[in-house]
Structure 1
Amino acid sequence: MAIAGAIIGAAVGGWMNDRYGRRTAILIADFLFLIGAVIMASAPSAPLLIVGRIFVGLGVGMASMTSPLYISEASPAKIRGALVSTNGFLITGGQFLSYLINLAFTKAPGTWRWMLGVAGLPPIVQFILMFGLPESPRWLFRKGREEEAKAILRKIYPVDEVEQEILDLKESVEAEIREEGSSEKINIIKLLQTKTVRRGLTAGVGLQVFQQFVGINTVMYYSPTIVQLAGFASNRTALLLSLVTAGLNAFGSIVSIYFIDRTGRKKLLIISLLGLVISLGVLSGVFHETTSHSPVVSSVETSHFSNYTCPDYSSAANSATWDCMKCLKASSPHCGFCASPTNKLLPGACLISNDTVKKQCHDESRLWYTRGCPSKYGWLALIGLALYIIFFSEEIEKMLEVRALHWRFWEKSDEPKEKSQEV
C-alpha cells in the first residue's frame, strides 16, 4: 500500500510542482509523511495502519520526484551533479539510520509504534528548514516572477557568472514556453519509428522497470524477516544483521560512484546484474535447504511443555513425520518451534505461539522460532543478502545511466546529429 501511495504521489507531484512550485510540493510531501507516521504509531488496528502506510507512500512518491528536480534547479551548475548524487546516497544512508533506530527500540515498550512514529521527526525538521530555502529560479521564471528568480541566482552564483546564468535560464524557459504554445502536434508514432528515440526510450524505461523487478523493495522492507527465515531466531539479531546490510547498501553507493566513470555504465550494469543473479541463487539454495532439512519435532521434547502443545500436532495422524517447517505452517492456532537446549539442529518441540510460551522457552536457554527454522547454512544466506545489496547499489548511478545510454544511442545512430538533437 505504501508503494501504491507512492505511485499516486509521484503522479500528483508532477502537476503540483508545475502549479505551486518545487518548495511547496516538498512542504506538502513532508506534511503527508508526518500525518502517515502519526496514524501508524497510534493505529489501534491493521486497517488504520494501512491508511497510515498510504499517507507515507503519498509523501514518499511526491518527495522522490520533487527533491532531485529542486536540487538540480536551485544549485550551482558546478556542483549540481554531485548534489543530486548525494541525495541518492543519503537515501541509502537514511535506510541504514532507520535500522539503527529500530534496533534501539526493540526493547522499548510499544516497540513498533516507536519505530513507525519516530519517522515523523525528519519531515518536521525538513518542513521548518525548507522555509529558509528559496523557490526554484526556473519555476519562478516560468511564472513571470523574474526579479525573484534573479535575486536567488545572484545568491547562488559568483558575480562574474550570474548575468550569463540569468540569460541562459531566461532563453531556456522562453524556448520551453514557445514549444508548449506551438500549434504543431507531436506525432508519437513517428517519434517511436525513429531509432534514436526508440532505443533511448527502451533503455531508459527498461532499466527502471527491471531495477524494481529484481526485488529490491522486498529485500529492504523485509530484510529482518529474511534473516529470520535463514535461521536466526532473535528479532534483535535480525535487526542487527539487517543494519549491516543497510550499511552495505550505503557503502555500495560510494563504491559505484567511484567506479562508474572508470569502468563505464554498461560494464558496471552487466557486472551488477550478474552479481544479482548469483546472490539470488545463493539465497534460493539456502532457503531450499532450510525448508527441506529442518529439525524434526520430538514428542518427548514437546511433552516437556505438555500444556502448550500445538493442537495440529496433537491431532495429527502422522505426527512422527513433523519437522520444524510443518510446525510453523500450522494454522489453528499459529505454532512455533522451541529448539533443543543442547543444539538447535537437534529435535525440538512444536508449541502454541504466544508470549508466555516464548518466555518459557527462553527461560530454559532454548531458541524460539516462528518464521524460519534452525539451519547450519544461515551464514550463507547473510553472504547472499550482502552481495545482493552491494551489487544493487548502483541505484543512484542507474538514474544517470538513463541519460548516458540515450546519448550513446544518439552517437551511434544513423540519424543526422542535428535531427537527433532536435528530437
Structure 2
Amino acid sequence: MDIVFLVLLRPIGRIEISSKLPKNDQIDKSDPTCMSTGFHMRSNIMPCVNKLLGLLFGSAKCLWFNSPLVQLKEEFALSTIWHEAIVSATILTAWLFALVAGPCSDRFGRKAVILMASLVFAVGAILMGAAPEKITLLIGRLIVGIGIGLASMSVPMYLSEVAPADFRGRLVVVNNAFITGGQFIASLLCGALSTTNNGWRWMMGLAGVPAAIQLAGFLYLPESPRWLVANGKINEARAVLEKVRNPSDNKEEELSSIVEAVANSEEQSGIGEVIRSVTVRRALIIGCLLQLFQQISGINTVMYYSASIITMAGVTDKSLAIWLSAVTSSINFFCTFIGMWLVDKVGRRILTIGSLLGSTAALFALALSFHLAYLNSPVLSDDQDPGTCAAHTCGICTSKSACGFCFAGDMKNITEASCVLANHSSYNEMSKDGLCSNQTLIEEGEVTFAYDWCPYQYGWFSILGLGLYLFAFAPGMGPMPWTINSEIYPGWARATCTSIATSVNWASNLLVSLTFLTLTEVLLKHGAFYLYMGLAGLGTLVFYLILPETKGVPLENIEEVFSHPLGSKASRSEWKPKTRSF
C-alpha cells in the first residue's frame, strides 16, 4: 500500500494536471524548486504509478482467469464450452478494444484512456463478484475486457513516452514485474479464500480495488509530453519534461527533438501511411510477431489453467491445487526481476532469444512428463462396452470430456477401475452410474472419481516442468514484447502500431484460450504441449534472424534502426548515434 500512498499523498501543487501546468514564460529554469520537482517526479511518482498499473493488471488477471475457475466449475456446473467461454470472454473484448484504444489515445490523450480503463475495470469486477448466474458472470467479464484492452495498449505507450531513453526499458519491465507480482499476491489471496463460502466472489470482486485506487491516483499525473506536442501544447509539454526529468537532463534539447519529430510527420497518420512506410512496416511486423509468439508459446495456457494443470498432474484437493498455482505465480514474479536487471545490460535481443530457447526446452520437459504419465496411466480392470467412454487406460478415458475415471482403493493400490460417463449436473464430482455414482462411497473414500486427471506417478514432473517454463519465460518473453513495442515506432505511428500489435496479442491469446482444452482432448495433454514447444522453437529461429537491438535508442531516432532489410546482418547490428561533422 506504500505505492498507493506515495501517489495519493503527494502534494497536489507539485503534480498538477496539464490544464494547470505553468506556461513557458512562467518557468524559471534557475529556480531550484522547479529542478527539485523534476527529480521527485521521476524518482518517486513515475515508478509508483508504474507499479500500481502493473499490480492492477496482474492481480485482476489472476483473480478473473485462474484460481476462481476451480470453484466456479462447481458453482455453475460449467461444461468445457462454458469453461472456455468464461475465460475467453474477457480476451475477446480486450482484443476488440485494444484496436479502439489507439485512435482514442490519439484523440483524447493517453491519460484519459487509462482513466477510462480503470473505471470500466472496477465496474466489471463488481458485476463479476455479484453475479447470480453464469450469464451475468459472462457479461461482467466482457466489461472487464474493455478496460483491460484499453489499458494494455495505452499504459506501455504512456510509460515509454514519459520515461527517458536510459530509463525506458527498466520502467516497462518494472511494470511487467508488478503484473506478475499482482498475480502472485492474488494467488495467495485465492489460496486463503479457497475454503471460504463464496470465496470466488471475493476473488473476483477484489479485482476492482486496485482499479479504483489507480483511477484516483492517476488524476494527479501529467499527460504524455509527446501527445501534448502533437496537439499544439508546447508549453505544457515543456512543463511536464521539467517535472519528469532529472535536473542535469537537457530538457530543451529533448523538447526540440519531439517538436521536430512531430513536425516532420504532421501529414502522416493512419494505417495507410504505416503500410507505405518501409521502416514502420518492418517495425510493425516485428512488433506483431513478438506479441504473437508470446501467446502461442503457451504462457497463458500455463497461467490461466495452472490450477487445472496441477489437478491433471494428480493433485485432487482443490485448495491445494490453488496454493500450488500460487507457487508457480511466485516463480513468475521473482524471475521477472532477472529481466529487469538484464534488459539494459545485455539488451532486448539476447534476452528475447534466450528466453524463447529456454521456454522451448522447458515445454519439452512438460510435454514429456504428460507423455510418460499417459503411457504409464492405470489400466482399466474391466472390459468396456463400445460407446462414448470406451477406453482401456485412464489416460484415454480422461481425455474425453464426457467421461471420467472411477477407481477403488488408493492411488498406489487401485483394486478396481472403470471409465464411465460423468455427471455434469454435479460438475463431474461423480459419475452417472456405477460405483462412483454413490455419493456416500465417494465421501467415505471408498471410491474416487477422477474427471480430468489420473493417479500418475509422474505428476511431480509436470509441476516441475511448469516451474522451469516460468523461470525461462518470465525474464524475457514476458516483458520484452511490451518493452520493444513501446519503443520501435515513430511518434506519428506509435498509437496506430501499438494498437495493432496489442490486438494481435489478444487475438492470439483468444485463440490459445479457446483451443487449449479442445487440444488436450484431440492431441491429448502431451500433444498440446509438444505443439507449443514447436512454436516456441520456431519463434527462437525467427527472432534470431530478424530482431534488432533497441537498447538506448531515442524514440525520435528509432526509424534508423529499421532502415535495413529484415534478416540482413546490418538489421541486427546495435544502433549507434550518427556523428556530426563541423
| TM-score between the two structures when normalised by the length of structure 2 | 0.59
Moved more, 323-332 or 266-275: 323-332
SS in 2 for 1:340: strand
Letter in 2 for 1:369: A
| The one of 237, 240, 244 aligned to 1:149 | 237
Deviation of 1:53 (Å): 1.9
| The one of 126, 132, 140 aligned to 1:44 | 132
Letter in 1 for 2:318: N
Deviation of 1:148 (Å): 3.6
The answer to whether the Cα contact below 8 Å between 2:407 and 2:416 also exists between their aligned partners in 1 is no
The answer to whether the Cα contact below 8 Å between 1:339 and 1:349 also exists between their aligned partners in 2 is no
| The one of 154, 169, 172 aligned to 2:258 | 172
SS in 1 for 2:410: coil
1:389–1:160 CA distance, 2 compared to 1 (3 A): closer
Aligned to 2:548: 405
Aligned to 1:257: 340
Does residue 341 of structure 1 match 2:422?
A: no
The answer to whether the Cα contact below 8 Å between 1:328 and 1:337 also exists between their aligned partners in 2 is no
The answer to whether the Cα contact below 8 Å between 2:127 and 2:140 also exists between their aligned partners in 1 is yes
Deviation of 1:188 (Å): 7.0
Does residue 58 of structure 1 match 2:201?
A: no
SS in 2 for 1:337: strand
The answer to whether the Cα contact below 8 Å between 1:5 and 1:55 also exists between their aligned partners in 2 is yes
| The one of 208, 220, 223 aligned to 2:306 | 223
Q: Distance in 2 between matches of 1:83 and 1:24?
A: 21
Deviation of 1:105 (Å): 1.3
Q: Distance in 1 between matches of 2:231 and 2:167?
A: 26
Aligned to 1:387: 468
SS in 2 for 1:60: helix
Deviation of 1:390 (Å): 1.5
Letter in 2 for 1:181: E
The answer to whether the Cα contact below 8 Å between 1:203 and 1:406 also exists between their aligned partners in 2 is no
Aligned to 2:331: 248
Aligned to 1:305: none
Does residue 212 of structure 1 match 2:295?
A: yes
Aligned to 2:227: 139
1:39–1:268 CA distance, 2 compared to 1 (3 A): same
Letter in 1 for 2:134: A
The answer to whether the Cα contact below 8 Å between 2:390 and 2:397 also exists between their aligned partners in 1 is no
| The one of 176, 190, 215 aligned to 1:127 | 215
Q: Distance in 2 between matches of 1:405 and 1:319?
A: 52
Q: Distance in 1 between matches of 2:206 and 2:165?
A: 35
The answer to whether the Cα contact below 8 Å between 2:307 and 2:322 also exists between their aligned partners in 1 is yes
Letter in 1 for 2:259: V
The answer to whether the Cα contact below 8 Å between 2:359 and 2:469 also exists between their aligned partners in 1 is yes
Letter in 2 for 1:56: V
Aligned to 1:396: 479
Letter in 2 for 1:254: F
Letter in 2 for 1:96: F
The answer to whether the Cα contact below 8 Å between 2:230 and 2:262 also exists between their aligned partners in 1 is no
Q: Distance in 2 between matches of 1:190 and 1:330?
A: 49
Q: Distance in 2 between matches of 1:20 and 1:187?
A: 21
In the alignment, structure 1 segments of 5+ residues that lack a partner are 300-311
Deviation of 1:350 (Å): 6.4
SS in 2 for 1:180: coil
The answer to whether the Cα contact below 8 Å between 1:345 and 1:375 also exists between their aligned partners in 2 is no
The answer to whether the Cα contact below 8 Å between 2:104 and 2:113 also exists between their aligned partners in 1 is yes
Deviation of 1:142 (Å): 2.9
SS in 2 for 1:107: coil
Count of aligned pairs between the two proteins:
398
**Equivalent runs, 1:209-358 vs 2, <5 Å:** 209-260=292-343, 263=346, 265-297=348-380, 323-325=393-395, 328=398, 335=404, 337=406, 340-341=409-410, 343=412, 347-348=416-417, 354=426
Does residue 101 of structure 1 match 2:189?
A: yes
Aligned to 1:11: 99
Letter in 1 for 2:266: E
Moved more, 72-81 or 42-51: 72-81
Deviation of 1:122 (Å): 1.1
The answer to whether the Cα contact below 8 Å between 1:358 and 1:368 also exists between their aligned partners in 2 is no
Q: Distance in 2 between matches of 1:105 and 1:319?
A: 35
Does residue 29 of structure 1 match 2:117?
A: yes
Deviation of 1:370 (Å): 2.4
Q: Distance in 2 between matches of 1:387 and 1:119?
A: 28
- Give CA-to-partner distance per residue, 1:268-305, whole Å, 9 cap, x none: 44433332222222222222333343334557xxxxxx
| The one of 174, 177, 189 aligned to 1:86 | 174
Deviation of 1:108 (Å): 0.9
1:358–1:100 CA distance, 2 compared to 1 (3 A): farther
1:365–1:245 CA distance, 2 compared to 1 (3 A): farther
Letter in 1 for 2:337: I
SS in 2 for 1:43: coil
* Structure exhibiting the larger radius of gyration computed from Cα positions: 1
SS in 2 for 1:371: coil
Q: Distance in 2 between matches of 1:265 and 1:286?
A: 31
Moved more, 226-235 or 197-206: 197-206
Aligned to 2:455: 374
SS in 2 for 1:405: coil
Letter in 1 for 2:158: Y
Deviation of 1:57 (Å): 1.7
The answer to whether the Cα contact below 8 Å between 1:230 and 1:373 also exists between their aligned partners in 2 is yes
| TM-score between the two structures when normalised by the length of structure 1 | 0.79
Q: Distance in 2 between matches of 1:62 and 1:318?
A: 44
Superposition RMSD in Å:
3.8
Q: Distance in 2 between matches of 1:204 and 1:254?
A: 23
Letter in 2 for 1:3: I
Q: Distance in 1 between matches of 2:334 and 2:379?
A: 40
1:272–1:148 CA distance, 2 compared to 1 (3 A): closer
Query: Percent of counterpart pairs with the same letter?
Result: 36
Deviation of 1:360 (Å): 5.0
Moved more, 316-325 or 95-104: 316-325
| The one of 72, 76, 80 aligned to 2:160 | 72
Q: Distance in 1 between matches of 2:282 and 2:414?
A: 54
Letter in 2 for 1:99: S
Q: Distance in 2 between matches of 1:165 and 1:205?
A: 32
